[in-house]
Amino acid sequence: MERKTNEIRWWIGLGAVTVVYNVIAFALPFGKTAVFFLSWAFTMAALAAQVYVIRTAFFKGEGVRSKLYGFPIARVGLLYLAVQVVLGLVFMALGTVIPFWLPLVLYVILMGAALIGLITTEGAREEVERQEKKLVKDVSRMRKFQAHTKMLFREGQIPEAKEALRELAEAFQYSDPVSSEALREIEDTLADDMAHLQDAVALLEKEKALELCWKTRRDLEKRNQICKLHKNER
């Protein structure tokens, strides 16, 4: 509901600006020359472009973070509109004394620059959002391991293994959480370790649980070593 209300406000604001511009353009005593109508057409095109700018900047995607990333897009669009309105009014006033080609060239250059700016800023936002989604995905596996070991430690089903489980939980807690393709194999091994450890704890198999705690710690250390080597190579 709030999203819809905000969108309506934007459209009302854009409509108001369009009306005010047209009143000014046609109420002032500008000569109705070819330059006048050229300026009016390009300014109306800039106003129409704000529909795309507003939708892309503030209503594409969900959440506050997505809207924050939309501000550079909005800034480019509003800057383009402001410059076009000012240039348009100036050339309307000078329509009887300047050649037609001068405002035409300037308007086309301005529109092209705005188009490039919009494409660039939108591409930058999409890349940032893609990297953030990738990071969330990359840390999810280790976060799952961390939560799993904490749960096994807190449940304390095998008192003799509680200290080993606590140390294992801490080892996961202080490990680099970011996964990568280079870590896939060792993390698959860790997943197997955790599954077997959970079974051993559930069946109250003290010796097996202790053995698996040690094996999981050893595999986690291997994983962290590979992680460090991979970072050094980069």
Residue 8 DSSP SS3: helix
| pLDDT surpasses 60 at 64 | no
**CA-CA-CA-CA torsion sign (38, 39, 40, 44):** positive
Beta carbons within 8 Å of 73's beta carbon, 6+ residues apart: 53, 56, 57, 118, 121, 122, 125
The model's confidence at residue 184, banded by pLDDT at 50, 70 and 90, is confident
Mean pLDDT of 131-149: 77
Q: What is the pLDDT of residue 26?
A: 92
* Whole-Å CA distances, 7 to 4, 51, 60, 81: 5, 11, 11, 19
Q: In this predicted model, what pLDDT tens digit does every residue of 44-60 receive, in sequence order?
A: 999 999 988 888 877 66
Residue 68: pLDDT over 80: no
pLDDT at 63 exceeding the cut of 50 = no
H-state helical runs in 28-100? 34-58, 64-93
What is the per-residue pLDDT for 156?
Answer: 78
Give me the pLDDT at residue 195, please: 92
What's the whole-number average pLDDT of the chain?
Answer: 85
Its pTM stands at 0.57
pLDDT at 1: 56
pLDDT at 47: 94
Eight-state DSSP code of residue 161: G
Most confident of 7-21, 49-63, 81-95, 129-143: 81-95
The better pLDDT of the pair 3, 73 is held by: 73
Q: What is the share, in percent, of the chain residues with pLDDT greater than 70?
A: 86
Q: Phi, psi (5° rounding) for residue 29?
A: -80, 60
